[in-house]
Amino acid sequence: MALEPVLIAGEWRQPANPTGSFKAIDPTAGKPLPESYPVSSIDDVTAAIRAAEDAALALRAIPVDAIGRFLDDYASRMEAAADALVERASRETGLPATPRLRNVELPRTTNQLRQGAAAARDRSWTQATIDTKANLRSYYGPLGGPVVVFGPNNFPFAFNSVAGGDFVAAIAAGNPVIGKANTGHPGTSKLLAELALEAARAAGLPPAMVQLVYRTSPDVGFVLVSDARVAATGFTGSKSAGLKLKAAADRAGKPIYLEMSSTNPVFVLPRALDERGAAIAKELYDSCAMGAGQFCTRPGLAVVPKGDKGSAFVAELAGLFKAGTAGTLLGPSGATAIAAALKELVAGGARVLAGGRAVDGDRAAFEPTLLEVSAKTFLDKPHELQTEAFGTVNTVVVADDVAQMAAVAATLDGNLTGCVYSDTTGKDDDDYARLAPVLRGKVGRLLNDKMPTGVAVSPAMNHGGPYPATGHPGFTAVGIPASLLRFAALRCYDAVRPHRLPAELANKNPTGKMWRLVDGNWSQGDVPE
């Protein structure tokens, strides 16, 4: 039986010496889809790296506008192919075709591509810095080698290895990409890579600008992130896989940006409970149930003070979880992973108030599950009780008082987000001032009165945070242009003759609009001669 081809050096080719094969699974029926995809051997990976190295060289002579054209055209081709993309993605992931895939995720993805195109053309992202007195000029430029992107299972478009956030950031910064498809949606990734290849050709980019393999053995994956010719890696996925890749990349001195795990704690202060406890419970449940709870920013932990209002909040929440329907998970392993995480949480001392079991039958699904634990127990076993359950699962931590809520915050691992709900008239302000500074140090994004799901693609977004939420606290995976900086090198020109400078650093502003830091002031003008 023929295997699906991999995309290497601008060609869809049969895998070289594959070490196995796999099929995508329709999670609504637990049944494999017909196509077989290869597990790539080192031969495919080596060929892709070699071709990408050539692409990185060729890119030196290609105007930055070509990258803008590519990203815009790719977005248009995705829109034109929306029917096929949505159909395939829905079959492979179980995510609803509408509104989720067609009306939310696809537009988000094409929007990211177009924002990337605009950033590439605008060039302000390079933070060109000019010191006319010292005749020193610096900016962020391409890394000079390929970026490897490992996409996660939960966003077949928006974080796809050949179409999503890391892809856009790496391409817009001027680097070729080697995509490692998520094995949950290889067919979607293949369709996207076909469109990307057409768009790259049309824009005159090197044939190996975008390449795709589907799966590798762990050892071959380690080569992918650590080969001397690879410049950097972007990974979104599980902590266990991420940390193994990190170890391999670190040993080789290769940057790797990881987005791994987060419990996204939500703190509800006492007077907010008084004011609108039931409404907050509803918000929390809805956020937790969105996408069957399979968002990196899904709130997995809620911290509330004890007392009548606290108990009412927990009861309200338990009712919502009990009444909730179990969404289809991205694959059959999802339910197994949730069950394993629940075991850890229960062993740590949490009590199941609602749900707790996988749904019977062929569909991949798990009951919406609520757990409860005292803050005292949490403080005894903070590690176990922060186990991430990737689904509609929340653990409510009931604290004696706000001081204990702050103590819980102090024991938290690094998280992507942290939310504080407080009374709208200011009655919680003193307690907020006690809690927020502690929480601030633990999270990349601090929210007020708002659930963390919903990650706007804004220049001011931070989809990042302290380890182990990510591998570095200074970078964001979402938000253009900031996300591009992960895939850029700082390049300084010292007394370089004017005609040899890159356009971004010449006296004349290359676009007439690019922002540059000239002698300490941000300016869109030319550098005075």
Residues assigned a catalytic role: 259, 296
d(CA 395, CA 337): 16
Contact 459, 308 (CB under 8 A): no
Q: Which stretch binds its own copies (CB under 8 A): 35-43, 73-81, 140-148, 186-194?
A: 140-148
Query: Per residue in 320-329, is it b (16+ CB within 10 Å) or e — as a string?
Result: bbeebebbbb
Q: What is the DSSP string of 275-297?
A: HHHHHHHHHHHHHHHGGGG-STT
**What are 248's two structure tokens?**
């391999």
Residues 347/355, Cβ–Cβ less than 8 Å: no
Q: What is the number of H-type helices and E-type strands within the chain?
A: 14, 23
- Cβ closer to its own copies: 387 or 417? 417
Q: How far is the CB of 445 from its own copies (least distance, A)?
A: 4
Q: Which of 96, 400, 450, 526 binds its own copies (CB under 8 A)?
A: 450
Of the candidates 1, 360, 460, 512, which one interacts with its own copies according to CB under 8 A?
460
Query: What phi and psi, each to the nearest 5 degrees, are found at residue 28?
Result: -75, -20
The 411-440 contact track toward its own copies, x by CB under 8 A, reads ------x--------------x---xx--x
User: Binding its own copies by CB under 8 A: which of 5, 278, 307, 493?
Assistant: 493
Q: Which stretch binds its own copies (CB under 8 A): 209-217, 323-331, 381-389, 460-468?
A: 460-468
Residue 489 binds its own copies, judged by CB under 8 A: yes
Instruction: Indicate whether 138 belongs to the interface with its own copies (CB under 8 A).
Output: yes
Comparing CB distances to its own copies, the nearer of 24 and 177 is 177
Radius of gyration of the CA atoms of the chain, in A: 24
For the bound state, the minimum distance from the C-beta of residue 216 to its own copies, rounded and expressed in Å, comes to: 22
Residue 49's SS3 state is: helix
Helix or strand holding residue 434 (H, E): helix 429-440
Rounded to whole angstroms, how far apart are CA atoms 42 and 17? Answer: 9
Q: How far apart are CA 167 and CA 112, in angstroms?
A: 10
Residues in contact with its own copies, counted by CB under 8 A, come to a total of: 67
> Which CB atom, from 160 or from 387, has the smaller least distance to its own copies?
387
2 forms part of the interface with its own copies (CB under 8 A): no
Query: What contacts 41, CB < 8 A, 6 or more positions away?
Result: 15, 16, 17, 18, 19, 216, 220
Q: Shortest approach of its own copies to residue 519 CB, angstroms?
A: 9
Q: What is the DSSP letter of 384?
A: G
Cα 384 to Cα 350, 373, 444, 478: the distances in Å are: 10, 12, 22, 29
- Interface residue with its own copies among 54, 250, 380, 384 (CB under 8 A) is 250
Backbone angles phi, psi at 183, to 5 degrees: -75, -10
How far apart are CB 117 and its own copies at their closest, in Å? 15
Determine, following the binding rule CB under 8 A, whether residue 491 of this chain makes contact with its own copies: yes
Q: Where are the beta strands (DSSP E) in 437-515?
A: 443-448, 488-494
Sign of CA dihedral 190, 366, 302, 345: negative
* 527 interacts with its own copies by CB under 8 A: no
515 binds its own copies (CB under 8 A): yes
User: Residue 88 region, left (φ>0) first, then alpha (ψ -120 to 50), else beta?
Assistant: alpha
Q: Using CB under 8 A, which of 9, 33, 62, 136 touches its own copies?
A: 136
- Check binding of 383 to its own copies (CB under 8 A): no
**3-class SS of residue 104:** helix
Tell the smallest beta-carbon distance from residue 21 to its own copies (Å): 34
The SS3 assignment for 415 reads strand
Residue span 207-246 as binding mask against its own copies, x where in contact by CB under 8 A, dash where not: ---------------------------------------x
Q: Does 462 bind its own copies (CB under 8 A)?
A: yes
If one asks whether residue 114 binds its own copies (CB under 8 A), the answer comes out as no
Return the residue of 99, 360, 425, 497 that touches its own copies, per CB under 8 A.
Answer: 497
User: Residue from 31, 32, 98, 134 that binds its own copies (CB under 8 A)?
Assistant: 134
Residues that bind its own copies (CB under 8 A): 60, 129-131, 134, 136-138, 140, 143-144, 246-247, 250-251, 253-255, 417, 432, 436-437, 440-441, 444-450, 452, 456, 458-462, 464, 466-468, 471-476, 482, 485-486, 488-497, 500, 515, 517, 520-522
